[in-house]
Chain A
Amino acid sequence: GAVVSQHPSRVICKSGTSVKIECRSLDFQATTMFWYRQFPKQSLMLMATSNEGSKATYEQGVEKDKFLINHASLTLSTLTVTSAHPEDSSFYICSANGGPGSPLHFGNGTRLTVT
Protein backbone atom coordinates (compact mmCIF):
# COMPACT_ATOMS: atom_id res chain seq x y z
CA GLY A 1 0.00 0.00 0.00
CA ALA A 2 0.89 3.64 -0.25
CA VAL A 3 3.50 4.74 2.23
CA VAL A 4 4.42 8.18 3.47
CA SER A 5 7.74 8.60 5.23
CA GLN A 6 8.30 11.48 7.63
CA HIS A 7 11.66 12.41 9.08
CA PRO A 8 12.81 13.03 11.76
CA SER A 9 10.47 11.30 14.15
CA ARG A 10 11.73 13.31 17.08
CA VAL A 11 13.76 16.50 17.32
CA ILE A 12 14.88 18.75 20.11
CA CYS A 13 16.16 22.20 19.26
CA LYS A 14 17.06 25.41 21.02
CA SER A 15 14.87 28.45 20.94
CA GLY A 16 15.70 30.68 17.97
CA THR A 17 16.92 27.92 15.69
CA SER A 18 15.15 26.45 12.65
CA VAL A 19 14.05 22.89 12.13
CA LYS A 20 13.21 21.15 8.86
CA ILE A 21 10.79 18.23 8.66
CA GLU A 22 10.61 16.08 5.54
CA CYS A 23 7.62 14.22 4.16
CA ARG A 24 8.08 11.76 1.31
CA SER A 25 5.61 9.67 -0.63
CA LEU A 26 7.51 6.45 -1.26
CA ASP A 27 5.51 4.62 -3.90
CA PHE A 28 3.22 7.20 -5.43
CA GLN A 29 3.31 10.75 -6.67
CA ALA A 30 1.59 13.34 -4.53
CA THR A 31 0.84 16.68 -6.13
CA THR A 32 -0.66 17.76 -2.85
CA MET A 33 0.42 17.07 0.68
CA PHE A 34 -1.02 18.31 3.94
CA TRP A 35 0.64 19.39 7.15
CA TYR A 36 -1.19 18.96 10.43
CA ARG A 37 -0.35 19.91 13.97
CA GLN A 38 -1.62 17.98 16.95
CA PHE A 39 -1.57 19.11 20.56
CA PRO A 40 -1.73 16.50 23.33
CA LYS A 41 -5.09 14.77 23.55
CA GLN A 42 -6.50 16.90 20.77
CA SER A 43 -7.44 16.40 17.17
CA LEU A 44 -5.35 17.12 14.09
CA MET A 45 -5.42 20.74 13.02
CA LEU A 46 -4.70 21.47 9.37
CA MET A 47 -1.88 23.98 9.04
CA ALA A 48 -1.37 24.17 5.31
CA THR A 49 -1.80 22.48 1.98
CA SER A 50 1.42 21.93 0.11
CA ASN A 51 1.15 22.07 -3.67
CA GLU A 52 3.90 20.77 -5.93
CA GLY A 53 5.47 23.57 -7.92
CA SER A 54 3.45 26.36 -6.36
CA LYS A 55 2.96 28.20 -3.12
CA ALA A 56 1.41 26.49 -0.17
CA THR A 57 -2.04 27.42 1.04
CA TYR A 58 -2.10 28.26 4.73
CA GLU A 59 -5.04 27.97 7.07
CA GLN A 60 -6.25 31.00 8.91
CA GLY A 61 -4.07 31.84 11.88
CA VAL A 62 -1.01 29.94 10.65
CA GLU A 63 2.01 32.18 10.08
CA LYS A 64 3.43 31.44 6.64
CA ASP A 65 6.72 33.15 7.44
CA LYS A 66 7.18 30.97 10.47
CA PHE A 67 6.14 27.67 8.94
CA LEU A 68 7.83 27.56 5.56
CA ILE A 69 6.60 24.89 3.21
CA ASN A 70 8.41 23.74 0.09
CA HIS A 71 7.05 21.12 -2.31
CA ALA A 72 9.75 20.95 -4.94
CA SER A 73 8.97 17.51 -6.31
CA LEU A 74 6.06 15.11 -6.63
CA THR A 75 7.38 13.01 -3.76
CA LEU A 76 8.77 15.49 -1.26
CA SER A 77 7.36 18.28 0.86
CA THR A 78 9.26 19.99 3.65
CA LEU A 79 8.07 22.03 6.61
CA THR A 80 10.61 24.37 8.19
CA VAL A 81 9.83 25.86 11.56
CA THR A 82 11.83 29.07 11.60
CA SER A 83 13.07 30.80 14.72
CA ALA A 84 11.44 28.17 16.86
CA HIS A 85 10.02 29.03 20.26
CA PRO A 86 8.84 26.76 23.09
CA GLU A 87 5.22 27.33 22.06
CA ASP A 88 6.03 25.68 18.72
CA SER A 89 6.64 22.43 20.57
CA SER A 90 4.07 20.00 19.24
CA PHE A 91 3.45 16.91 17.15
CA TYR A 92 3.55 17.61 13.41
CA ILE A 93 2.21 15.11 10.93
CA CYS A 94 2.10 15.12 7.16
CA SER A 95 -0.20 13.30 4.79
CA ALA A 96 -0.86 12.75 1.12
CA ASN A 97 -3.39 10.97 -1.02
CA GLY A 98 -2.84 9.19 -4.26
CA GLY A 99 -6.04 9.98 -6.10
CA PRO A 100 -9.61 11.32 -5.95
CA GLY A 101 -11.41 10.06 -2.89
CA SER A 102 -8.42 8.08 -1.77
CA PRO A 103 -7.89 8.05 1.96
CA LEU A 104 -5.01 10.13 3.18
CA HIS A 105 -1.85 8.25 4.03
CA PHE A 106 -0.03 9.66 6.99
CA GLY A 107 3.58 9.89 7.97
CA ASN A 108 4.52 8.72 11.44
CA GLY A 109 4.75 12.28 12.70
CA THR A 110 7.49 14.42 14.21
CA ARG A 111 7.60 15.34 17.86
CA LEU A 112 9.25 18.76 18.10
CA THR A 113 10.52 20.03 21.44
CA VAL A 114 11.91 23.54 21.61
CA THR A 115 13.96 24.28 24.71
Chain B
Amino acid sequence: AQTVTQSQPEMSVQEAETVTLSCTYDTSESNYYLFWYKQPPSRQMILVIRQEAYKQQNATENRFSVNFQKAAKSFSLKISDSQLGDTAMYFCAFMKSRGNAGNMLTFGGGTRLMVKP
Protein backbone atom coordinates (compact mmCIF):
# COMPACT_ATOMS: atom_id res chain seq x y z
CA ALA B 1 0.00 0.00 0.00
CA GLN B 2 1.09 3.54 -0.64
CA THR B 3 1.48 6.17 2.02
CA VAL B 4 1.81 9.92 1.60
CA THR B 5 3.19 12.12 4.36
CA GLN B 6 3.01 15.87 4.70
CA SER B 7 5.08 16.83 7.71
CA GLN B 8 3.93 20.45 7.97
CA PRO B 9 0.37 20.72 9.33
CA GLU B 10 0.41 24.52 9.07
CA MET B 11 2.54 27.13 7.39
CA SER B 12 2.38 30.84 6.81
CA VAL B 13 4.06 33.15 4.34
CA GLN B 14 4.06 36.85 3.64
CA GLU B 15 2.38 38.01 0.47
CA ALA B 16 4.80 38.06 -2.50
CA GLU B 17 7.22 35.73 -0.74
CA THR B 18 8.06 32.14 -1.66
CA VAL B 19 7.03 29.09 0.32
CA THR B 20 7.76 25.39 -0.06
CA LEU B 21 5.44 22.63 1.11
CA SER B 22 6.97 19.23 1.66
CA CYS B 23 5.64 15.80 0.76
CA THR B 24 7.16 12.35 0.95
CA TYR B 25 5.66 9.07 -0.12
CA ASP B 26 6.32 5.40 0.08
CA THR B 27 5.64 2.95 -2.72
CA SER B 28 7.05 -0.10 -4.42
CA GLU B 29 5.68 1.00 -7.79
CA SER B 30 8.15 2.15 -10.43
CA ASN B 31 5.74 4.25 -12.40
CA TYR B 32 3.08 6.47 -10.91
CA TYR B 33 1.68 9.98 -10.83
CA LEU B 34 1.90 12.65 -8.16
CA PHE B 35 -0.41 15.60 -7.68
CA TRP B 36 -0.86 18.66 -5.56
CA TYR B 37 -4.43 19.72 -4.89
CA LYS B 38 -5.60 22.94 -3.29
CA GLN B 39 -8.72 23.10 -1.12
CA PRO B 40 -9.79 26.68 -0.32
CA PRO B 41 -12.46 27.46 2.29
CA SER B 42 -15.12 26.64 -0.29
CA ARG B 43 -13.82 23.05 0.01
CA GLN B 44 -13.66 22.59 -3.74
CA MET B 45 -10.68 20.40 -4.69
CA ILE B 46 -8.58 22.19 -7.29
CA LEU B 47 -5.72 20.57 -9.16
CA VAL B 48 -2.56 22.63 -8.81
CA ILE B 49 0.07 20.56 -10.55
CA ARG B 50 0.76 17.05 -11.84
CA GLN B 51 4.00 15.06 -12.17
CA GLU B 52 4.60 11.79 -13.97
CA ALA B 53 7.21 9.67 -12.21
CA TYR B 54 8.94 8.62 -15.41
CA LYS B 55 9.64 12.25 -16.29
CA GLN B 56 12.76 13.67 -14.68
CA GLN B 57 11.85 17.25 -15.49
CA ASN B 58 10.05 19.01 -12.69
CA ALA B 59 6.54 20.19 -13.53
CA THR B 60 5.78 23.90 -13.53
CA GLU B 61 2.51 25.79 -13.69
CA ASN B 62 2.93 29.54 -13.56
CA ARG B 63 3.86 30.39 -9.94
CA PHE B 64 3.74 26.76 -8.87
CA SER B 65 6.59 24.32 -9.35
CA VAL B 66 7.65 21.04 -7.85
CA ASN B 67 10.93 19.51 -6.78
CA PHE B 68 10.53 15.84 -7.60
CA GLN B 69 13.23 13.59 -6.17
CA LYS B 70 12.28 10.05 -7.17
CA ALA B 71 15.08 8.26 -5.35
CA ALA B 72 14.26 10.11 -2.16
CA LYS B 73 10.50 9.74 -2.79
CA SER B 74 10.03 13.41 -2.24
CA PHE B 75 7.65 15.76 -4.02
CA SER B 76 7.68 19.30 -2.67
CA LEU B 77 5.61 22.22 -3.95
CA LYS B 78 7.05 25.69 -4.31
CA ILE B 79 4.74 28.66 -4.52
CA SER B 80 6.41 31.83 -5.76
CA ASP B 81 5.08 35.35 -5.36
CA SER B 82 2.46 34.14 -2.89
CA GLN B 83 -0.96 35.73 -3.19
CA LEU B 84 -3.76 36.06 -0.67
CA GLY B 85 -5.84 33.71 -2.81
CA ASP B 86 -3.30 30.97 -2.23
CA THR B 87 -4.56 30.62 1.33
CA ALA B 88 -5.94 27.07 1.46
CA MET B 89 -5.32 23.49 2.47
CA TYR B 90 -2.85 21.79 0.17
CA PHE B 91 -2.89 18.05 -0.34
CA CYS B 92 -0.20 15.93 -1.90
CA ALA B 93 -1.57 12.83 -3.62
CA PHE B 94 -0.28 9.62 -5.20
CA MET B 95 -1.82 7.62 -8.03
CA LYS B 96 -0.65 4.27 -9.38
CA SER B 97 -0.12 3.91 -13.10
CA ARG B 98 -2.16 0.93 -14.21
CA GLY B 99 -2.91 1.76 -17.80
CA ASN B 100 -6.63 1.87 -17.23
CA ALA B 101 -9.11 4.35 -15.94
CA GLY B 102 -10.28 4.37 -12.39
CA ASN B 103 -7.07 4.91 -10.48
CA MET B 104 -7.67 6.13 -6.99
CA LEU B 105 -5.73 8.83 -5.19
CA THR B 106 -4.00 8.38 -1.87
CA PHE B 107 -3.81 11.69 -0.05
CA GLY B 108 -1.40 13.09 2.48
CA GLY B 109 -2.68 14.67 5.66
CA GLY B 110 -2.60 18.17 4.22
CA THR B 111 -0.83 21.43 4.95
CA ARG B 112 -2.81 24.51 5.87
CA LEU B 113 -1.19 27.52 4.23
CA MET B 114 -1.97 31.05 5.24
CA VAL B 115 -0.74 33.95 3.15
CA LYS B 116 -0.45 37.11 5.22
CA PRO B 117 -0.81 40.61 3.78
A-side interface residues toward B, CB under 8 Å? 30-32, 34, 38, 41-44, 46, 49, 51, 91, 93, 95, 97-104, 106, 108-109
Contact = CB atoms under 8 A, between A and B. Distances in A.
Contacts, number: 62
Interface string B62-103: 000000000000000000000000000001000101111111
B104 to A, nearest CB: 6
B107 A43 contact: yes
B45 A97 contact: no
Contacts of A38: 43
Interface residues of B, number: 26
A98 B101 contact: yes
A5 B105 CA distance: 19
Interface in B27-43: 33, 35, 42-43
Interface of B: 33, 35, 42-45, 47, 50, 52, 91, 95, 97-110, 112
Given A31-B102, A34-B104, A49-B104, A103 B43 contact: no
A3 to B, nearest CB: 12
Contact of A51 (B45, B102, B109, B110): B102
B44 to A, nearest CB: 5
B108 A43 contact: yes
B10 to A, nearest CB: 10
19 contacts: A41-B112, A43-B107, A43-B109, A44-B91, A44-B105, A46-B104, A46-B106, A49-B102, A91-B43, A93-B43, A95-B45, A97-B101, A98-B101, A100-B99, A100-B100, A103-B33, A103-B50, A104-B45, A104-B95
